[in-house]
Structure 1
């Protein structure tokens, strides 16, 4: 065999090379032998074919299975509770105004069920500007901002928001809900850490969930518990020698589900101490908190640049649609390629961008609007803080003077009253609250129960009636509306009949 190999031209050179190579590198011999054996085993192994294990049915068996199959309905059958919610959903007829027409009621109702705090929805100036913009730009861009959806009005609004908040730059999103749920996953990925207030709204919860990051929750607005969590994370990192990851503290400025305010100075102190980044959702606080309506940083007199990302919706005080994220130039530029709702959604219609822009101008030019709104909020709370109601309802943190400027409030029935009335579950509590809502409507005031995604909320808040104060009503009308709500609560909750009569 050796003589035959040698007879091949050039074989002597190959043999000499192989001898030298393997003599100097024994590891190479082991590796190549392993690869040779692996290749032989692979070639001789049984080939996998899809559906090898599939059960073969006869024609008779197939026919029997087809006859037994019952398709599920595309829409599940409504429960009694679902029908109740649908029947009690108010239908507004015509434009939304401070005194709006509601289907089923002859006279307009004073509207305390909307975030139209400054009545920008009814502003003739904003309406005219929006109509002019509609005629010039059309309805929508039909394209994402990164392609051909960015217009000059979008760029101007981004500059106005950044200037209004005191940040370097800002970015616009087309939907308010998807703003925070896109911003969080744009920066925090799998393996990163999010430390989140357990009282945040549903939109923030979705953003946290989508990020697939490691999540640690701290008790609502409890800075001692937040520090405890941060200390535990720090010790765990040192003990297990974990690699450094991106880390964020996530909270709201003004909590939608509780109506209280985040303690921003303490949050900034802890952020600096443990070297985290801070994300604040100001959807509820933008335009209403602070001496100039600039949100949480304005309220506490803190430099806005101490907060890494200020996120908010323009569908509340700014009477428009969409959302924004303000921060450093690097933070904003990163989202233009990594913010999913920015990259893959059609951009905000130009007329809505103009509406938000004009709203910001009016807040800057008319600071008395904020003063009037706070006076109405204080008066409303004082009227509901009546001794006849103190044993019936819980008004969110009524004794805290800091919250007197918050233009919305949650009214909840006290557990002792629910027990006396035989309310043993959430549905019965909702029905009792709806009785109050219906009584208010019959007396000319529109309020609604707070709606939650019950089966998806991390910590489902108790049922409540959420009341919004507005400058669209005069002070006299505001006080009258508070009186109507007070009398409705007394009328419904002071009756002696049991919950069975509601069903």
Structure 2
């Protein structure tokens, strides 16, 4: 053992000298210091990335120096064998077979003949009062908007067939961006050709891996417009924290936990994502409290106003107008042009830095064809009509109040939705209607929808893809009130819905 120490010392001396010489020679290579610094920082920030890069280098070297080979030993088949294989092959179906429940849902879906407006006509010739559409102002049948759209179609054609950043931007696009920015009171705005891709592109253009997003639990449910928010959150690969729906105490708890856990860690970008009017409950977000918390904990606020633009506030400018708050207090106002504005596409309004950044990093803006000119003009005309007719908002609020006054007294149901929200959800009262399973509740609600249709009212259940939901939501019928209807229409609709509910559950109790 004693004789081994000198040999070991000589080995250490040799290794030390070799490493020293290697370090001296490496330092003489141009750019070696930058490469070494990059490797150190990369390993410190993300060791998995360094291991992956090292693996790719070894794989490239092995592939480069490996021997080439050919596969010439093909199996020759006779014509008879080929025919037998073709006859035996059975392709997989492109669409899976419908379940019994899906067949039942499909059978209950009515067929509309002609345009879908506030009073559509069914295949059987019956005209209904439409309370299933997000056409809150009744602009889908407005003659002025139709004339402007037809005139623009004849002048500009159907579309530019190019992304906005190349040759797809037209003067009518820029006009709507100016108009919606002025309408909301922001510095600038940017429009997207699809409503779904607006917020799902805006979120990941700012939020990256390692950033923090704090969102409501019901923003990531299966089917409906909410899935666009969920996709944006997923694409961003940010760390997501959830807080209870419109519960500001729970939101502050989450923000405080993040703050406490973030000590001695690198600074990250942080965002609160919420919506103005909840599509699943019809209630209004407490914007004043959200702004207070985002300032206190240093967050940016992304507000989805797809359902509140054109429906809330003295001018219909959404939550900032409703709560009388300066719109510049909200970092990003995202909205849809498909609902109250009766067009297509979406917009994101905020500071000039917010919008210009999206023009070079918003994937849906950079790689999607621009919005057809006639739709941009339709949205501009809708804004103009709304600005010139504030009575529309008064009519909308009166219709909402009249409908709720009748339905609030029905013992079998509960109503979800704030008093000024045009979105109302009818849910079964559990202490009166004893239905435990989800499918049973859906069938009971569909019976109400069918009976209301017999009374001349078009309703729709809120649909969900249960297997894809992160959180459970109680089945409901979603009612969307429109300013288009007269008081007589609303009284008829309220009485028809009430009679349908009472009749369904009286028949069930027999």
> How many angstroms does 1:210 deviate by?
1.4
Within 2, Cα distance between the matches of 1:284 and 1:428?
Answer: 29
> How many angstroms does 1:79 deviate by?
0.5
Secondary structure (helix, strand or coil) at the match of 1:225 reads helix
Which one of the candidate residues 246, 270, 275 is aligned to 1:247?
270
Aligned to 1:97: 117
Aligned to 1:129: 148
> How many angstroms does 1:350 deviate by?
0.7
Aligned to 1:184: 203
Aligned to 2:54: none
Cα 1:479–1:50 shift into 2, 3 Å: farther
Q: What pairs with 1:194-343 in structure 2 (closer than 5 Å)? A: 194-200=213-219, 201-238=226-263, 241-343=264-366
Aligned to 1:493: 505
> How many angstroms does 1:413 deviate by?
1.2
C-alpha contact 1:418 1:429 (8 A) present in aligned 2: no
Aligned to 1:81: 101
> How many angstroms does 1:141 deviate by?
1.3
Please, which runs of 5 or more residues in structure 1 have no aligned partner?
A: 1-21, 34-41, 398-402, 499-503
User: How many correspondences in the alignment?
Assistant: 450
Secondary structure (helix, strand or coil) at the match of 2:503 reads helix
1:229-269 Cα distance to aligned partner (Å, 9 max, x none): 1111111111xx21111110110011111101111111111
Secondary structure (helix, strand or coil) at the match of 2:121 reads strand
C-alpha contact 1:202 1:457 (8 A) present in aligned 2: no
Please, which runs of 5 or more residues in structure 2 have no aligned partner?
A: 1-14, 27-59, 220-225
> How many angstroms does 1:44 deviate by?
11
> How many angstroms does 1:43 deviate by?
10
TM-score (norm 1): 0.84
* Aligned Cα root-mean-square deviation (Å): 2.9
Cα 1:177–1:460 shift into 2, 3 Å: farther
Aligned to 1:138: 157
Which one of the candidate residues 404, 419, 422 is aligned to 1:404?
419
Secondary structure (helix, strand or coil) at the match of 1:215 reads strand
Cα 1:449–1:496 shift into 2, 3 Å: closer
> How many angstroms does 1:225 deviate by?
1.0
1:376-425 Cα distance to aligned partner (Å, 9 max, x none): 10010001112xx12x111105xxxxx22211200011223442xxx442
Aligned to 1:166: 185
Q: What pairs with 1:304-453 in structure 2 (closer than 5 Å)? A: 304-386=327-409, 389-390=410-411, 392-397=412-417, 403-419=418-434, 423-453=435-465
Within 1, Cα distance between the matches of 2:431 and 2:342?
Answer: 39
Within 2, Cα distance between the matches of 1:86 and 1:412?
Answer: 22
Aligned to 1:400: none
TM-score (norm 2): 0.83
Within 2, Cα distance between the matches of 1:371 and 1:414?
Answer: 31
Within 1, Cα distance between the matches of 2:231 and 2:195?
Answer: 13
Secondary structure (helix, strand or coil) at the match of 1:310 reads strand
Within 2, Cα distance between the matches of 1:489 and 1:45?
Answer: 70
Cα 1:321–1:44 shift into 2, 3 Å: closer
